[in-house]
Copies of this chain bind each other. A is one copy, B any other.
Amino acid sequence: MGQRVLAGLRVMELGHYVAAPFASRLLADLGADIIKVEPPGGDPARQWGEQVGGHSLWWSSHARNKRCISVDLKHRAAPGIIKRIAARCDAVVENFRPGQLDRMGIGPDALRAVRPGLIFAHISGYGQTGPDRDRAAFGVIGEAIGGLRHLTDHPPGTSDLPPVRVGISIGDSVSGLYAAIGLLAALWQRDRNGSDGRERTVDVALTESMLSLMEGMLPEYGMLGKVKQPTGGGIATAAPTNAYPSADDSWVLIAANSEPLFAKLMTLIGRPEIIGAPGYRGNQERVANVAELDRMIGEWTRQHTAVELARILSAADIPSSKVYDAADIAADAQYGSRAMVRTVDDPFFDRPVLHPGVVPRLEGDADDIRWPGPAIGAHTDAILQAVAGYSAVEIDDLRRQGVVA
């Protein structure tokens, strides 16, 4: 069994909901020791989604591979505990409002006093600086201000319905990915330079994380005044690529916007005369004629079931897929072959829980789902003793005072 790539890294999570917990889950999945500090009532995310016997199914995967300690951060004795843990950590990931940790006595200055060089990764709605830094924000707000929500819609004039939310907390997750990147980059620089004691701070904003994915939107607006608009099921810069209806009322994606793929597809749908014809020569011409192109392709797809389409398109090596839901994913052979859909024993439930696998996959690394999302305070004693160096008597005392649980 190989060693996990991040074995030896210890990170304190002062997080709740999605963004910071997702960042540290990424690190936990790769073998880091994550110490998640929770209030006595637990992370509110424990209440989210479907519950069975009072326990969240999402929590089972959202908090897996972490250790959980319960500390009442409002208690006057809390900063002392947090400092003793921080003294043994490489980094902190947090998503309180900017400045909130300082007000609680556990901000960067306080923790670096006991642990010089401690890396901080902050995640917030708008960032740690600037006129909006104190504004309240959730993931959907970051998505709207980052430009994603505007682009996730049908073309203007198509429908009266509001722009659609991507069905997941994409702003939080992408912020978490960026925080992990910043933290690992800082960590590499720190250890490469032989622990130089420099203060490394990562400052991730939900808004900016989204903006960073907007491709040509800003360059094109700045130079041409072009305000990028949503394109429904298609892509503004490539054609043909869209979701097409099948005979049995499913949607099938077809992406054939390179020259060889386009030629194959036109042959397949019985329109070989389109290949190289005026208006369809090269991607830019096809983008201009995308409505007509989508109509031709849709006429053909409506004559076949989703299963038939999958077979025909796959045989022609044209990128395509049924639009998968949870059941399709759970049944998919490719996911199964790569342990990307797997069962995990969880003491909260009487049957194993279905988890997504570990991403990114590192060849040769040890099996990586060590345990499911823990109970509140499941590792309070272990962390206080082995990490922070409290005695059993001291821990009993802290528990009696109501600082830890």
Q: Which of A110-118, A250-258, A271-279 contacts B (4 or more CB under 8 A)?
A: A250-258
Q: Are the C-beta atoms of A141 and B232 separated by less than 8 Å?
A: no
**A157 in the interface (beta carbon within 8 A):** no
A183 CB to closest chain B CB (Å) equals 9
Q: Which of A52-60, A78-86, A384-392 contacts B (4 or more CB under 8 A)?
A: A52-60
**A182 in the interface (beta carbon within 8 A):** yes
**A50 in the interface (beta carbon within 8 A):** yes
Select from chain B the residue with minimum beta-carbon distance to A60: B219
Q: Are the C-beta atoms of A219 and B61 separated by less than 8 Å?
A: yes
A367 CB to closest chain B CB (Å) equals 15
Q: Kindly identify which residue among B48, B188, B261, B282 contacts A237, using a CB–CB cutoff of 8 Å.
A: B48
Q: Are the C-beta atoms of A181 and B179 separated by less than 8 Å?
A: no
Bound CA span A192–B242, Å: 46
Residue from A163, A182, A326, A338 with most neighbouring chain B CB atoms (10 Å): A326
* A303 cross-chain contacts in B, Cβ below 8 A: none
Q: Are the C-beta atoms of A220 and B49 separated by less than 8 Å?
A: yes
Query: Do A168 and B151 contact each other (CB < 8 Å), given the known contacts A57-B220, A191-B191, A327-B221?
Result: yes
Query: Do A361 and B168 contact each other (CB < 8 Å), given the known contacts A52-B224, A162-B245?
Result: no
Bound CA span A356–B205, Å: 13
Q: Are the C-beta atoms of A147 and B220 separated by less than 8 Å?
A: no
**A340 in the interface (beta carbon within 8 A):** yes
Select from chain B the residue with minimum beta-carbon distance to A217: B326
Q: Are the C-beta atoms of A186 and B218 separated by less than 8 Å?
A: no
Q: Could you jot down 17 A-B contacts, CB within 8 Å?
A: A5-B188, A5-B189, A58-B219, A138-B319, A144-B324, A150-B323, A164-B233, A165-B231, A169-B235, A200-B363, A201-B362, A201-B364, A203-B361, A208-B356, A218-B355, A221-B327, A223-B354
Cβ-closest 4 pairs across A and B: A151-B167, A222-B354, A58-B216, A182-B360
